[in-house]
Chain A
Amino acid sequence: MTFHPRESRGYTRREALLRAGGAAISLSSIPGFLAACGGSTPGTTSTGAAGGWPVGPGGIPLARASHPVTLKRWEDPIASGMKPETGGTFTIFNYPAYIDPAVLKAFGKKYGVTVKVTPFDNIATGVTKLASGTVSPDVTEMTPDQLPRVVAGKLVKPLNLDYIPNLKNVWPGFQSPYYDVGSRYGVPYTVYSTGIAYRTDRVKEDIPNLKPNPWDIFWHSQKYTGKVALLSEERETIAMALLHRGIKDINTEDPTLVNRAVKDLQELYKICSIKVGDLQYENVPEDKAWLNQAWSGDMLAGYLYYLPNKQTGKLLRFWNPGYGNGPIGNDLWCVCSTTKKPVLAHLFLNYMLDNGVGYKNFVDFNGYQPPFNEIQSESLIKKGVIPETLASSVLTERDFGPKALVEAGLTNTGESLWQNGYATFTSGA
């Protein structure tokens, strides 16, 4: 399964990023964005396993930018023009501290409900709780790779986009993404990429210009032994090892490729006593790690909240592999099947896509970038939110173009292959 940047085995970097209020990122407003995020032919429907295309949960074809998937509605969406339900509690199922309480309070006040957040540790346990019925939220956070699973399990409801006019505020490619053509079940929330964070006072290599491949730095890091770390996520680590070999199919289910990537990762034991973890936003600024696989925004959070006094932000760098060279991803909101307030749930999705609300949630609390047309990197830099040296932390629409490397859903066999590979790597064997 794909792990989300907010998933960690001990502490969430969320706790840091929630304070990274201004963390920002940005986007150019290149018009005509991607057919990409939505594939080149949004609106087309995959026909499942026909032609040998692999299928995931419930027989739903695996979504790829080159192979967009229209998810079948398992029931009719709610009718248009209904009034929102009021009174009682409105429950949001989400990562801990991943949404601004002030934003939620304003929503509750606007619609006369008490808003409650029920947290989950990671998306997998979230899906498990939804499936087991131990929670019955109104809306839930979701990731594209898990979307087919919750749709096949009828855990989320089809949307009526009449209630979500603010969908127009997001990048065009996310208005009809390849994993859910027509946004039948979800609307986007945030975006992120994976690269390398490092300290310029410790790491002397010019990582962005390292030939033949900047990812190779991990295999040449003997002199940084004990100070080198990877993200503790199976998709991220193995994908990085694949990219180190120049293999850009980071969703491969070829055992030969995955197992070789695992062997490459195992070499790092001796090379640099490699560590895994999700505290890069803290460890790099505090000099505990010098070279660390990281998500976009980590060094921004580190700069804002973890860099000790007297140290300058110039020490920190984030190498963003750039379009088509490194993993990128996003998450989304869905309406749960268990909701007793389906209209209000739709309005919540619309509320989160409001330019003002989304921006406030982003810069005042969340730190993760929503894919909004209106958010401009230039203005954020001008405001001093983003230091110039960390400008590479900023994502743009182009990063989600047709050649973007997305850690997409796998077949169950593929997920097992990756999980066993990661287990082998983390066993230290």
Chain B
Amino acid sequence: MYPRWLWPLTALPGVVWLLLLFLLPLYAVLGVAFGNVDPVLLQPIPAWNPADWNTSWFTHVLGQLVPGNAFWDVFVRTCEYVGLSLAGCILIGYPVAYFVARHASRTKSLLLILLVLPFWISYLMRMLAWINLLSPGGYGLRFLSATGISSVLFHLGVISDPSNYLGGQSFTVILGLIYGYIPYFILPLYASLDRIDRSHLEAARDLGASPFRAFWHVTVPLSKTGLLGGAVLITLPMFGDYYTPNIVSGAPTTSMIGNQIDLYFHGGPQPTIGAAITILLSAFLMILMLYYMRTIHRASREIPA
């Protein structure tokens, strides 16, 4: 028999990792957000003791996070972009994951390799590829024009200029986000769909459910954890993304909250503001995370052993 402490001990590296590389840095950011700045070298002076916390930076950021002020606008825009990108990932990613999990028998391995393939190329390079594709004369732009997609998007009001996707259009940023993050969404969803016992679906069909009703009432609920897992996996980094709008747009009107954090951490006398925005964003994401954990917990209780 193994000693009782053996298996808990295997969690130790993860716990140490979490403490050293997540909780400690998080507290450091907190210390910076509530700290001060060295007036000579503009280095943040973290306030480690909560009793010494300087709340003025937080107050400043909160003041900007009300309707009509700069941080509010960019925060709302970020939420919109992330929400629409998530919707896009679900619309595109769910059918793909479903097909690979349920219908790709002999080609499953190949398709999985293809799904992982984008990870072999850096995110930055993949985004830069869009620049060439959507540039004047680029294959992507020509395709969109030739197929009439540009025209449709223009008439729907999705884009303001069908010949200039790189001219600061929200659509392009959302497209970039979907393209960049969708592999991270599909893989956990695929894993979840692949685990669904086919007998559940057969039971539904035997009981008279149409294919769609079986899908809607059996497959979708059983894949909810994968769906949420994939959603969490992509929305968290999307909220902090700043290079995608930088690369495919560059317009202030398409910037995200990550751009503001980058700006304040990039240099200058107010790294504390960058830290304060980071903490507030983390708090917001924590709410989403709590919802995810609660849902997962419920789902695990509902699934029969």
Interface string of A415-429 (1 = CB under 8 A from B): 110011011111111
Interface string of B247-265 (1 = CB under 8 A from A): 1011111110001101110
A118 at the interface (CB under 8 A from B): no
A269 at the interface (CB under 8 A from B): yes
A10 at the interface (CB under 8 A from B): yes
A sample of 20 inter-chain contacts (CB < 8 A) reads A3-B267, A9-B262, A57-B41, A122-B267, A131-B43, A149-B41, A153-B41, A226-B164, A226-B167, A226-B169, A232-B250, A274-B251, A412-B37, A412-B39, A416-B268, A419-B268, A425-B252, A426-B255, A427-B259, A429-B69
Complex contact A128–B160 (CB within 8 A)? no
- Known contacts A9-B266, A10-B243; A428/B41 CB under 8 A: no
Instruction: Please name all residues of chain A whose beta carbon is closer than 8 Å to the beta carbon of B251 when the two chains form the complex.
Output: 269, 273-276, 428
B171 at the interface (CB under 8 A from A): no
Complex contact B71–A227 (CB within 8 A)? no
Complex contact A122–B43 (CB within 8 A)? no
> What is the distance, in angstroms, from B5's C-beta to the closest C-beta of chain A?
39
Instruction: Please name all residues of chain B whose beta carbon is closer than 8 Å to the beta carbon of A225 when the two chains form the complex.
Output: 161, 164, 167
> What is the distance, in angstroms, from A377's C-beta to the closest C-beta of chain B?
33
Interface string of A213-251 (1 = CB under 8 A from B): 000000000000111010010000000000000000000
> What is the distance, in angstroms, from A183's C-beta to the closest C-beta of chain B?
22
**Interface Cβ pair total, 8 Å cutoff:** 132
B83 at the interface (CB under 8 A from A): no
- Known contacts A122-B267, A419-B269; A269/B253 CB under 8 A: yes
**B interface, by DSSP: helix, strand, loop or mixed?**
loop
A124 at the interface (CB under 8 A from B): yes
A125 at the interface (CB under 8 A from B): yes
> What is the distance, in angstroms, from A266's C-beta to the closest C-beta of chain B?
8
Complex contact B70–A227 (CB within 8 A)? no
Chain A's closest residue to B37 (CB) is A412
Complex contact B136–A428 (CB within 8 A)? no
Complex contact B167–A273 (CB within 8 A)? yes
Complex contact A288–B269 (CB within 8 A)? no
Which B residues are closer than 8 A to A by beta carbons? Answer: 37-43, 69-74, 77, 135-136, 160-161, 164, 166-169, 243, 246-247, 249-255, 259-260, 262-264, 266-270
Complex contact A423–B254 (CB within 8 A)? no
Complex contact B136–A131 (CB within 8 A)? no
Complex contact A1–B268 (CB within 8 A)? yes
> What is the distance, in angstroms, from B270's C-beta to the closest C-beta of chain A?
6
Complex contact A428–B254 (CB within 8 A)? yes
Count residues of A near B (Cβ-Cβ below 8 Å): 45
> What is the distance, in angstroms, from A131's C-beta to the closest C-beta of chain B?
4
Please name 10 further chain A to chain B contacts, defined as beta carbons within 8 Å, in addition to the given A57-B39, A429-B70, sorted by A numbering.
Answer: A10-B246, A123-B267, A273-B253, A276-B251, A288-B166, A412-B269, A423-B264, A426-B259, A427-B70, A428-B74
> What is the distance, in angstroms, from B136's C-beta to the closest C-beta of chain A?
5
Complex contact A288–B40 (CB within 8 A)? no
The 8 closest A-B pairs by CB, nearest first: A226-B167, A124-B267, A429-B73, A428-B253, A427-B70, A275-B250, A428-B252, A131-B41
Chain A's closest residue to B137 (CB) is A287
> What is the distance, in angstroms, from A243's C-beta to the closest C-beta of chain B?
20
A208 at the interface (CB under 8 A from B): no
Interface string of A195-218 (1 = CB under 8 A from B): 000000000000000000000000
Complex contact B40–A422 (CB within 8 A)? no
Complex contact A153–B40 (CB within 8 A)? yes
Give the docked Cα–Cα distance between A287 and B259 (Å). 26
Give the docked Cα–Cα distance between A153 and B38 (Å). 10
Partner of B263, one of A226, A273, A422: A422
> Which residues of A, 269-297, contact B by the 8 Å Cβ criterion?
269, 273-277, 286-288
Complex contact A273–B267 (CB within 8 A)? no
Chain A's closest residue to B38 (CB) is A131
> What is the distance, in angstroms, from B60's C-beta to the closest C-beta of chain A?
9
Give the docked Cα–Cα distance between A422 and B266 (Å). 13
